[in-house]
Amino acid sequence: MSSNNILESVKSSTKEVVNLCNWISISESSLPALIDALKGTLQDARPSKFPLNFKNLEDEVNFVALYGLVSFGSGFRDQLHEAIGRGAQETSLFLMLSIYISNENGIPDSTHLTNIKEHDIQSWMNLPATEETPVESLPGVFAVSSSHLMELVKKMTFVLNTTGEILKMKNFSSLGEFCLRYGNSKDPSILIHALSSTFPAFHDIEEVYGKEVYLLKKAQVTAYQLSLLYPDRFGRQGLCIFADNVIPTVLYLYGILKIPAELKEKLENKKLLEKEEITVLRASSVFVCELISERTKIPSPQLDQALWKLGKFSPEVRNSPRFSYQDTIMF
């Protein structure tokens, strides 16, 4: 696919999947209550600031792009909170800050990425290597096994290693240089297409019902954050929301997404979803937010940030279980 219509493909493919799915429906009559609730979390778009002294333009662009790259692990949220008291997004940021602070040679370039080992990731994320489980038949006795969070460590290591290998193969010194090459202040789809077609960890395209569903969460959020920092180099026109597991949960809790009893039971009991289920939920969140954006004229990325904050800071939403899926490196 060319870059010209990749963002339109996000909108059209998610709408098509919602129409094909026979177990989800959208309650448009519930939208006004959510729109009203968003007034408390909507704010003007502003760039993220990080507590680092960047050496140059490429250094800062590289950090933002790598942070986008490792922004996944939401399915491990409960285990992360239990082990280290941080959620997935905070853990990804903590990882990136640790990578930068520990790197004495400047920008974490392609070679640095290929040399990262699992024990590095585990140390930087401050994750336990083992976990103890009580033995039911022996009170006071615990069985020691490899921590379930090591699965997340393996995924992070794989993503960073493979991205470094591809950068070296294509003669880019860093992911920052790659983004600067393809950044365009008028058209973010050029960068999004380049990221998603070059790096598997940005290729957020799933298949359900025999149809490809373009979601491109990490590529879009990377383009968006870069556009806020350097609007003369990166654009954000036409971006959709950054579909993860949080926004579908918020839309469900506000009565907009109607789901079957089986899926409600999975949510309430914190059971992992199937690939079809989470893909349809993510696609539905894109579709709904495009409806809201059309009605309110609020850009989808700002809606995304407002919904995400609602999910994070509203007690009734934050304390509710979230849709969860672990077999992914996309969100």
pLDDT at 1: 55
| Residue 86, CA distances (Å) to 74, 187, 258 in order | 11, 35, 30
Q: Please give the structure tokens belonging to residue 132.
A: 């103890």
DSSP labels for 38-88? Answer: HTTT---------SS--SSHHHHHHHHHHHHHT---GGGHHHHHHHHS--H
pLDDT band at 156 (very low <50, low <70, confident <90, very high): very high
pLDDT tens digits for range 172-224: 999 999 999 999 999 999 999 999 999 999 999 999 999 999 999 999 999 99
Q: By C-alpha distance, which of 125, 126, 127, 145 is closest to 135?
A: 145
For the chain, the domains span 6-319
Q: By C-alpha distance, which of 207, 215, 282, 294 is closest to 249?
A: 282
Alpha-carbon gap, residue 311 to 247, rounded angstroms: 7
Where do we find the tokens 């495009």? 290
In sequence order, the 6+-apart residues with CB closer than 8 A to the CB of 161 are: 113, 114, 116
pLDDT tens digits for range 261-287: 999 999 999 999 999 999 999 999 999
**pLDDT, average across residues 116-134:** 88
Alpha-carbon gap, residue 92 to 239, rounded angstroms: 23
pLDDT band at 107 (very low <50, low <70, confident <90, very high): confident
pLDDT tens digits for range 50-73: 999 999 999 999 999 999 999 999
Q: Please give the structure tokens belonging to residue 326.
A: 């672990």
- Give me the residues paired with residue 143 across strands: 133
pLDDT band at 4 (very low <50, low <70, confident <90, very high): low
3-state secondary structure at position 209? coil
| H-state helical runs in 104-149 | 110-114, 118-125
In the chain the beta strands, taken as DSSP E runs, fall at 25-26, 130-134, 142-146, 205-208, 211-214, 257-258
Helix, strand, coil percentages, rounded to 5, for the chain: 60, 5, 35
| Main-chain phi, psi angles of 205, to 5 degrees | -130, 115
Mode of pairing for the β-strands spanning 211-214 and 130-134: unpaired
Alpha-carbon gap, residue 111 to 168, rounded angstroms: 7
- Give me the residues paired with residue 145 across strands: 131
pLDDT at 35: 94
pLDDT band at 317 (very low <50, low <70, confident <90, very high): confident
pLDDT tens digits for range 222-240: 999 999 999 999 999 999 9
Average model confidence (pLDDT) for the chain?
A: 94
